[in-house]
């Protein structure tokens, strides 16, 4: 007797669209989606517009390309009981922003990238600001180093061997051994720094938000122009960021 199938073709096609777009951050148009998925354009049109109506996709008005929306972030955010990560973090982030007067951000790891899930803008007229949902590499910035460092030794080695270590500024660490040593120091110190390693003129300092079993939940960081956050302030601001990250952990548990 032939086993009954439980697949839902329309749902499978919708998931195919989502999975393909998850691999193409810049997005794809209807024709590109149809070609890659071997579907007719009318089917892709219906699928993409249904997903867009439910806020799972967004469409660039100029390029007409579809890409995943930030709604997926809210679906996967850690939640302890009735308290979500963002709910627990926002009051602490605002307090840290008020102390430092600089932009405070919160992020997670998604596969081999970090992603910003919340932001509290700084109080200066000139401040760092990005879009929620922005993805960032793991090797050339403070939050990325936290996401790398809070892995097992073997996972850290495998990740560093797998990800591209691009040279983004003269200070970017691109040697795998040096990056592993940097991550070891980050783990011992409790916070990570970005000394203009991703972008010239921008520094950031990050610390881990940990669970009860010291498992990494998220990363918290402060971003600022290098003139307002010079290397001489890294230690003092690092302590502030660590205290704030610990407070978020306490609010979750």
* Percentage with pLDDT > 90 across the chain: 74
Q: Domain 77-252: which topology?
A: Beta-Lactamase (3.30.450)
Do the first three CATH levels of 9-69 and 77-252 match, i.e. the same topology? no
Q: What is the 3-state secondary structure (H, E, C) of 66-109?
A: EEECCHHHHHHCCEECCEEHHHHHHHHHHHHHHHHCCEEEEEEE
Confidence of residue 22 (pLDDT cuts 50, 70, 90): confident
Residue boundaries of the structural domains of the chain? 9-69, 77-252
Q: What's the pLDDT tens digit per position in 121-171?
A: 999 999 998 888 888 999 999 999 999 999 999 999 999 999 999 999 999
Among 71-75, 86-90, 237-241, name the one with the lowest average pLDDT. Answer: 71-75
| CATH code that applies to domain 9-69 | 1.10.10.10
- Whether the model pTM is above 0.85: no
- CB crowding 123-159: b at 16 or more within 10 Å, else e: eeeebbeeeebbebbbbbbbbbbbbbbbbeeeebeeb
- Looking at residue 76, its pLDDT comes to 58
Could you tell me the sign of the dihedral formed by the alpha carbons of 10, 11, 15, 21, in that order? Answer: positive
Instruction: Decide if pLDDT at 2 tops 60.
Output: no
Ramachandran assignment for 184, one of left (phi > 0), alpha (psi -120 to 50 degrees), beta (any other) = alpha
Q: What's the pLDDT tens digit per position in 23-70?
A: 887 899 999 999 999 999 999 999 999 999 998 898 988 899 998 886
Q: What's the pLDDT tens digit per position in 184-222?
A: 999 999 999 999 999 999 999 999 999 888 899 999 999
Confidence of residue 225 (pLDDT cuts 50, 70, 90): very high
- Looking at residue 132, its pLDDT comes to 84
- Looking at residue 189, its pLDDT comes to 97
């Amino acid at each position: 007797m032939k086993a009954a199938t439980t697949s839902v073709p329309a749902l499978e096609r919708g998931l195919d669209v989502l999975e393909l777009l998850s691999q193409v951050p810049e997005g794809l148009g209807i024709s590109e989606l149809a070609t890659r998925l071997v579907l007719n354009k009318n089917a892709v049109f219906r699928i993409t517009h249904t997903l867009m109506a439910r806020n799972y996709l967004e469409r660039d008005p100029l390029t007409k390309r579809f890409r995943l929306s930030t709604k997926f972030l809210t679906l996967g955010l850690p939640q302890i009981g009735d308290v979500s990560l963002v709910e627990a973090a926002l009051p602490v982030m605002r307090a840290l922003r008020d102390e430092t007067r600089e932009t405070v951000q919160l992020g997670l790891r998604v596969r081999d990238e970090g992603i910003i899930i919340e932001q509290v803008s700084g109080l200066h007229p000139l401040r760092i600001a990005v879009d929620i949902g922005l993805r960032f590499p793991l090797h050339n910035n403070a939050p990325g180093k936290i996401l790398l460092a809070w892995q097992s030794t073997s996972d850290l080695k495998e990740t560093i061997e797998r990800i591209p270590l691009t040279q983004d500024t003269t200070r970017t660490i691109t040697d795998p051994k040096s990056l592993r040593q940097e991550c070891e120091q980050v783990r011992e110190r409790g916070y990570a720094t970005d000394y203009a390693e991703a972008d010239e003129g921008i520094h950031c300092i990050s610390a881990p938000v940990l669970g009860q079993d010291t498992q990494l939940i998220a990363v918290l960081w402060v971003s600022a122009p290098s003139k307002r956050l010079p290397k001489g302030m890294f230690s003092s601001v690092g302590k502030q960021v660590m205290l704030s990250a610990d407070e978020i952990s306490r609010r979750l548990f």
